[in-house]
Each structure stands twice: as C-alpha cells, then as structure tokens.
Structure 1
Amino acid sequence: MTDTTAASGHDDRYKVLTPICISAVIIPLVFTGPAISTPAVGRDLGGDQASLSWIVNAYAIAFGGCVMAAGALGDHIGRKRCFVSGLVLFTITSVLIGFTPNLLALNLLRAVEGIGGAFVLTSATSLLAQEFEGDERTRAFSLLGTAFGAGLAFGPIASGFLIETLGWRSPYFAIALISILILAFGTPRIRESRNPDAKGIDWSGTILFTAGTGAAYLWDRPGTTGRVGQRSRRCALHRLGAAAHRLRDCGTTERPTDAGPVAVPLSPVYRVQILPVATGFSFIALIVYLPIWFIAVQARDEFAAGLAILPPTAPMLVVPLLAGRLARRLSPGILSGVGFLISAAGALLLLGMSPGTSVWPMVLPMLLIGIGSGIPCGLMDALSVSVVPKERAGMAAGIFTTMRVAGEAIAIAAIGAALIGFTVGRLSVRSTEQTITLPETAAVLANGIGSGATVNLGASVSALVYESYTDAFHAVLIVLAVLAALAAMVCFLTLRTSTAKLPT
C-alpha cells in the first residue's frame, strides 16, 4: 500500500512550510480574537452572556467534531484540496461575519468557520507528514508548533489592539485577508497527496461524535442547574456515551478498505493522545482564564491583559523548536514528561497571585508554565503521525486533532465551572450576616466575572468577590498542577519506549 505522493527529496518541500505555518498562526487568532471581542459584540448586537458564549463554543464544537472526518476526507479526496477548502471557508465566513446584522447569524457563521478550521489544521499536519521524514519531519513539526505558539502569543494582543482601534469586526477582516494571501501565494507550492485505498467517510459516526463533543461541553457548562440542567446533563451523558462507544469500536471515521479495517493500532495512537488533553488543562485553559482574572480582578483593559499573559505564551515561539532539536537525542516521551513537571511547578508557584499583586512576581511562574507546555506542544504533532504508515497520516492527524480540540474545549468548560463552584464555595465561608446573597452572587459570577464581562458591584462586595475568585483560582492551580504531574508520569511510563519515538 503506497501513497500517491511519496515524501519528496527536493528542496521545494521546504516551500510548503511557509503557507502551512502561516495557517497555523491563523488558528489561534480565529479562537482568541472572538473570545476577547465578546463584550464589544454584546454592546453592539445585544444578547445575554449565554448567547454570547456561543461565539466561541460554536467554533470549538464544530472544529472538534469535524477534525476526524476532515482527516479521513483528506485521505480520500486529497489533503491539498481540503486545505484550500478550509481557507476558502475562513475567507467567506470571516467576511460575512464582518457584516453580520445579529448574534444568531454570527454564531451560525462561527460554526461554519469551525469546520474550515478543522479542514485547515488537519490537512496541514497530513501535508507535512507526506513531505518530510525522519529528523526533517521533527524539525518541520517543531516549526509548525512554533507558528501555532506565535498565534497564541500575539493573538490576544493583536486582537485587543484591533478591537480597541477599529472595532470588534476588524479581526475577522484580518483573518480573511491572511487567508486570501495564503490562497494566492502559498497553496500553488503545495503538492496534492491522498490515500489511494481510502473508501469513504463514516458520516453517521461523524455526526454522533460531533453530538458527543457538544454533549461534553453541555455537561461541564456552568450555570446549568435545576430540572432543566438535570435533563440537559442526562441527555448529554447519553450522547457522550454513544459517541465514546462509536469511537472505541471504530477508532476512526474512515470506512473499511479492501485490505481490512483502517483503524490504527490502538496502543500507539491512543497513548499519544495524553499530550494534547493534558496540555489543554495545564496551558490552554489557563491562557483563557488568566486574562479574565486580570480584567475582572485587576481592572486591566483587553490590550493590557493580552500583554500580561505574554510570559506563558511567548515561550511557544522558541520552545517547540528547541524541543524538536532535543528529540534527536532524547525520547520525546521523556521530554514531554519533563515539560509537564515544569508546568506543574509553575502552577504551584503561581499560587502567590492576589488582587493587589503586580504582574512582575507572576512572570517567572507563568514563564515556567509556558516553557513546560511548549515542550510537548513541539513534539506531539510529529508523534501523532509517526505511529502510523504515511498513507494513513490524514486519519491519524484527524484523531489527534480531535483529541486536541475536544480536550481543550472540555478543559475550558470544566475549569470555568470549577472556578464558579469554588468561588461560590469560598463566598459561603467568607460572607457574614447579610453582606452577600449567595444565589444572586452565583448568578452574577456565572454571567459576569466567569465570562470576562464587566460587573457592577458595591466596593465591599466587589472586594470579597474578587478575593474569593482568586482563592478559587488557587484551588484550580493546585488541581492543574496535580493533573500535569500525573500526565508526566503517564509519559514516563508509556511514551518512553521505542514505539513512541520520532522516526530518525
């Protein structure tokens, strides 16, 4: 069984890196920009916080639910074709969002944009896997991780600047412009590749998995209480269980071939998935909620909050590339485990944060979190496709990207719910007499502080709420440190063997 396009040995394959790495910069921009713009969108188009949250959630759920199908589809019809299709969707939806008249249309377009993101990221990974082998593949994927890190590092700052100067619609026009430039000058350099034995897509499995991804979010969503919340959780549990059952049985959304089932060997592929899931909790969730803490508790504006989280995001510019170089000599599993331990240490040191603390004492802990998370981020893309034959790279990339995006979405929802729960718990201990009415405060938190929106409270109540919210952040940091340490142990025990090493 061979791929229609073998890994090239000519120098032109390095030209493929430019458009793919630029597209990797766009992915975090499409996620972080709309998240920061949520308050401005609310002021312009209206809508409660639950509706506004779907600006991010619609994209994340569509992205996470479609990446596995996008990988299998790329194997079937061509990875370049899927890559171009994703960029076209980015361009069209971003322009339409720039002129959208209401919140419902915006949320629907964001879901379509999420499908485009699934096509772009999964195809980019598969295309690199086809062009490079051995140490060159490791370096290429390290550059891909660095590009993704650049989007994470500067995305919040760039988006905040554009929103403050040109309005909330401007980041979408910027995304459309970058997509057009890649289509015009980058994609002609990319060669087509596909799996000649691919037979089609399991659409029922895709739909079921997408429903399961959405159910996982609904299960963790804060503010869902009462009988409605119980019914929603029961429904979510049924959908999530069905999706997990389908994923266990199939291992992919690609149909069987004449040579037998295409499901990859369970152990190598699924051992690697600990890396994106753990990174979702130890890093992605933090860079979502740390700006909210800076905005809500320390009264910083969006641009200042973006600058404040440079310490954890800036290492993503260089650490993934350095990790790729170290992987030539050391096991990627061992390196990833060390990275998670560094991240755990940073989370524990960050316990010194308080409402009156300057950002400077927080720089070192946040740097450690960014450095530690950057190590597995620079290795996990290459690991995900190194455990399968090249002609199955699209499928493996789909499974990996699914776990990355679904893990990040669940981590964000779970950490958000934990912050609200811990905050209300701390308020119940701190409040005395009738200073605070807990049901009202819980509603304020669910619709205000926890989402980054501005909340008008009395001075004494605000101080108590912000102190409790910071205490909740401390509890979450401890949990994240424990999870990172456990992820390190899993890496040391299961990814240190030769089956998990990158090709040399």
Structure 2
Amino acid sequence: MNTLAEPLPTPGRYSIFAAICLAALVLPMSFTGGAVATPFIGQAFDARPTELAWITNAFMLSFGSLLMAAGTLADLYGRKRLFLWGMALFGLVSLLLAVAPGIFWLDILRALQGVAAATALSSGCAALAQEFEGHARTRAFSLLGTTFGAGLAFGPLLSGLLIEHWGWRAIFLSTALLAGISLLFAAPTMRESRDPQALSLDTGGVLTFSGLLVTFTTAVILAPEHGWASPLIVSLLVAAVAFLLVFILIENRSKQPMLELKLFLFPRFVGVQILPIGTCYCYIVLIVLLPLRFIGVEGASALDAGLMMLALSAPMLVVPMIAAALTRWLPAGTLCAIGLLIAAAGLCWLSTVSDQSQIIGAMLLTGIGTGLPWGLMDGLAISVIPKERAGMAAGIFNTTRVASEGVALAITAAVLSTLIAHHLRGSVPTADLSSIAQGLVMGDIQRASAAVPVEVLRTAYTAGFNTLLQLLAGFTLLTATVVFLFLGRRSVMPVPAIQSLT
C-alpha cells in the first residue's frame, strides 16, 4: 500500500519520467567518464596508481553497498524527498569534483557521488513505479533501461569530446548540468509517496556489508604494491572475513534482513546472481580498462578512444530488445548462456589481434554477446521466485550486480598488474616492477618511460593484457555453463519453498 493521490495528468507523468531518465543517463556517464578521464587526472595531479584506482572504485563501492539501504529509506521517508536530495547532492558533488584541488579530495568526492547516485536511482525507480500501471509501466522501465544503456554506450564518446575541447574537469561540469535539469523536471511535478508497511533499515547489515566491500577491495587494490603476504593486506583480508561472518550472523537472525541469504540455497536463484557477475568480467571491466589502454598506453586521443568504445557499448542499445523477442522460442536462461558464450569468443578474438579493424570487430562481438543477458537478467531476477517476493528478489539482484562491479574492477586490475610485472621481469629492476606495472594499468606510461623504453613497456603491457583477456574469456565460459545448468529451463520457485525459509 502506498500513500498516493489521484493519477497525474499525462504531461505530469512524463515530466517525472524525463527527470528519472536523465538521472539514469547521467549515472553511467559519470562511471564511464571517470575511466576516460583517469590518465588525464593522473597527469594533472602526478597521482600514484593506487590513488587513481579509487577514482572508479570509490564510486562503485559506495554505490553498490548503499543501493538497497537507499531503497528502504525512500520507502520510509518519501521517494520524492530522497530523489530530490540524491540528485541535488549528485549535482553539488559533481561541481566540487570539477574544482577538486588534488587526488585525495577527488577520491573522497567520488565516494560521496556514489552515495548520491544510490539514493537517486533507488528512489527514482520506486517513484516511477507509482506513476505507471500494467503495460505502460513495462514500457517505462524498458525505456529507462535503454537510457541507462545509452549512458554506458555514449559516455566514453561524450567524455572524449569534452576532454578534447575543455579538459577533464568538463566531464563533471556536464554531469552537474544534467543533474540540475533533472531536478527542474522533477521538483514541480513529482508527488510524494511512501510505503506505510516498509521494512525498517537493517543498519547492522548495511554497515557490515559495506565494511566487507571496503576492506576486501582495498586489500586487492593495495596488494600489488605491498604484496599479498604483507601485514597490511593480511589484516585487511582478515577484517573482510570477519565482516562477512558478522554479516551472515546478523542477516540470519534479523526479522527484516537486508538480504534473505537462505534464498541462495536454490540453484535457480543462484544462477540469476551469477549473471551480473559474468557480465562484470566480460563487459564492465573493459569499459574501464580499454580507455586506459587506448589513451594512456597506446597514445590515442580521448575522442578516438571514445569512438572505439562505441563498438563495445553500442550493441547495448539494440541487442537487449532482440533478446526479449527471442524469448518466444528459447528460454531466457538459455539465451543468457548463449550470449556469454559469444562474449567469451569475442574476448578470445580480442586477445589475438592488433589491427584496429579486428580489435573493433572483437569488441563488437563481445558487446553483442553481453547484450543478450544484459537485456534479460533483470526480468529473470524477479521471475525465478513468485511475484509476491519480486521486490526482495530485485533488491538482492541489484545489490549483487553493483557490488560485484567494484570488486571485479579491483581484482582485474590487480591481475593485470601482476601479469605486466611478470612480462617486465628482466627489463626493470625488481624494486620498481610493482610501481611501473601499476602505473601502466592506470594508463600512466610517461612516468615509467623515464626508466624503461616505451616499446618495452608497450610490449609487456600488450602481453599481459592479452593473457588477462584469455582469463576473462575462461571465466565467462564458466559462468555460461553455470547459467545454462541453473537457468536453462523455464520454472519458478514454488511459494511453499519460499515460505518455508521465513
């Protein structure tokens, strides 16, 4: 039950829809823009690789760990209120990022920007659901997903254009402008709504889950620099395990848990959670790493890099709609597995080519493959359990999706750093291996070239990157197998099975 007034006139509803779509456009643009800007930010602030890594990871960690909590707060205190506060904070932080005096403040502000993004997205989606019913609601959320995909697809290109003409700070100014326009659409027309039966906030679950993500990701980011056996890294990993155990204990004892962990006993539910993890390693990590490679290591302009990234991301605007049509003939789980197989083939191809046209072809194939599960996994998340628990299923799925993105980025960057260091061994003094390898991962070839010839650095980077792509292809193939085994048939978890968990 929701506290709603009479339905708004159509212009009012679509004004709200425009506001939320603008939010869905600006959030992925902020994510991809940070990746494209990283080499330029590194040069501007003479930043260390670990400091640069937090430009993306700080945003993703705060965003992922607070997404469900923000949704609960929106139900409790008002969806309009939380959306307006979230977008206002997002715009303000974007302005502050544009004038950030150093890398430390930029990283801190990126974490705060992630908090604002989680607040705006959760409350915005909840508010949108109140304005449309039936088929109109389905169309609205489908267009919202397409808008989000457009932000991912064109974010690198727009960022490249802005950097080319006005510098990296213009990226954050543009996101602030879009956030302001969204507020102008939403403030006069969006109605306040709450859920009187909303669950209270699981504070213990939120804190321990956030602690788990922060300690584990920090350990992975710092490990190449300090070593996996160093006291700092061991302490962080022990803390992560402790947070995990306490989180499980809290969730199992809570009457209103943040995550219903017992659902993970069901294979089909597990299969749905595997899907976003698979797309993280075949798509999301490339959204970050490829611009760093093209701009920082290979010397491409920001605009050229943005154009090349279209090959990977543009399929997200078309393939999800094709995937939805194909479900008439094939189960969604089977289509997702096929898509992951295609993406794995694209990654393998990308690891073997150096010609630009073939690189674009391999990226296009990877994007097409990823587009199949990308367009179906949101629907699968709420179809594998009865509709009575759809909200809970969507919340768990979105948390898994966003949280795994930050972790995947940290792990992939650490693996790439290790691989580059391996290929540099013999050409670089052992003491400098780690810092040079990490610098290359973040696209900082200039600092490393003072001690090592550029061609040696590029050769080592390319060899390491190709090995990484093969590892990513193998992992994607594994997830395709698991998804097919768990989701290859059409079925829904029976209600009694779910009720027996609670």
TM-score of the superposed pair, with normalisation by structure 1: 0.86
The answer to whether the 8 Å contact 2:319/2:375 transfers is: yes
Partner of 2:34: 34
Q: Tell me: CA distance 1:279–1:8, structure 2 relative to 1, closer, same or farther (3 Å).
A: farther
Amino acid aligned to 2:89:
L
Partner of 1:117: 117
Partner of 2:468: 476
- Paired with 1:467 and 1:290, the residues of 2 have a C-alpha distance of 16
Partner of 1:351: 351
Partner of 1:453: 444
1:33-182 equivalences under 5 Å are: 33-128=33-128, 139-182=139-182
> Residue 116 of structure 1: CA displacement?
0.7
> Residue 132 of structure 1: CA displacement?
5.8
Moved more, 361-370 or 9-18: 9-18
RMSD over aligned Cα atoms: 3.3
1:168-195 Cα distance to aligned partner (Å, 9 max, x none):
2211121111111111114555455443
Q: Tell me: CA distance 1:226–1:366, structure 2 relative to 1, closer, same or farther (3 Å).
A: closer
Amino acid aligned to 1:57:
N
Partner of 2:18: 18
> Residue 231 of structure 1: CA displacement?
2.2
Amino acid aligned to 2:260:
A
Amino acid aligned to 1:263:
E
Percent identity over the alignment?
39
- Paired with 2:276 and 2:124, the residues of 1 have a C-alpha distance of 17
- Paired with 1:378 and 1:187, the residues of 2 have a C-alpha distance of 31
Amino acid aligned to 2:397:
F
Amino acid aligned to 2:443:
G
> Residue 417 of structure 1: CA displacement?
1.2
Amino acid aligned to 1:445:
A
Q: Tell me: CA distance 1:457–1:326, structure 2 relative to 1, closer, same or farther (3 Å).
A: same
Partner of 2:370: 373
> Residue 441 of structure 1: CA displacement?
3.6
Q: Tell me: CA distance 1:106–1:251, structure 2 relative to 1, closer, same or farther (3 Å).
A: same
Does the alignment pair 1:409 with 2:401?
no
Tell me how many residue pairs correspond in the alignment.
Answer: 488
Amino acid aligned to 2:332:
P
> Residue 329 of structure 1: CA displacement?
5.3
The answer to whether the 8 Å contact 2:348/2:469 transfers is: yes
Q: Tell me: CA distance 1:120–1:98, structure 2 relative to 1, closer, same or farther (3 Å).
A: same
Q: Which stretches in structure 2 are left out of the alignment for 5+ residues?
A: 494-502
- Paired with 2:387 and 2:133, the residues of 1 have a C-alpha distance of 10
The answer to whether the 8 Å contact 2:94/2:176 transfers is: yes
Amino acid aligned to 2:405:
E
> Residue 284 of structure 1: CA displacement?
0.6
**For 1:41, what is the secondary structure of its paired residue?**
helix
Equivalent residue in structure 2 for 1:440, among 432, 456, 462:
432
1:163-312 equivalences under 5 Å are: 163-186=163-186, 188-221=188-221, 224-226=224-226, 230-249=230-249, 256=255, 263=260, 266=263, 267=266, 269-312=269-312
1:465-487 Cα distance to aligned partner (Å, 9 max, x none):
32222122222122111221222
Q: Tell me: CA distance 1:174–1:297, structure 2 relative to 1, closer, same or farther (3 Å).
A: closer
> Residue 93 of structure 1: CA displacement?
1.0
- Paired with 1:59 and 1:460, the residues of 2 have a C-alpha distance of 33
Amino acid aligned to 1:206:
V
Amino acid aligned to 1:53:
A
- Paired with 1:348 and 1:6, the residues of 2 have a C-alpha distance of 54
The answer to whether the 8 Å contact 1:350/1:362 transfers is: yes
> Residue 500 of structure 1: CA displacement?
5.5
> Residue 59 of structure 1: CA displacement?
1.5
- Paired with 1:463 and 1:7, the residues of 2 have a C-alpha distance of 67
1:321-332 equivalences under 5 Å are: 321-327=321-327, 330-332=330-332
TM-score of the superposed pair, with normalisation by structure 2: 0.86
Amino acid aligned to 1:278:
G
Amino acid aligned to 2:431:
P
Q: Tell me: CA distance 1:123–1:492, structure 2 relative to 1, closer, same or farther (3 Å).
A: farther
- Paired with 2:258 and 2:400, the residues of 1 have a C-alpha distance of 21
> Residue 366 of structure 1: CA displacement?
0.8
- Paired with 1:327 and 1:4, the residues of 2 have a C-alpha distance of 36
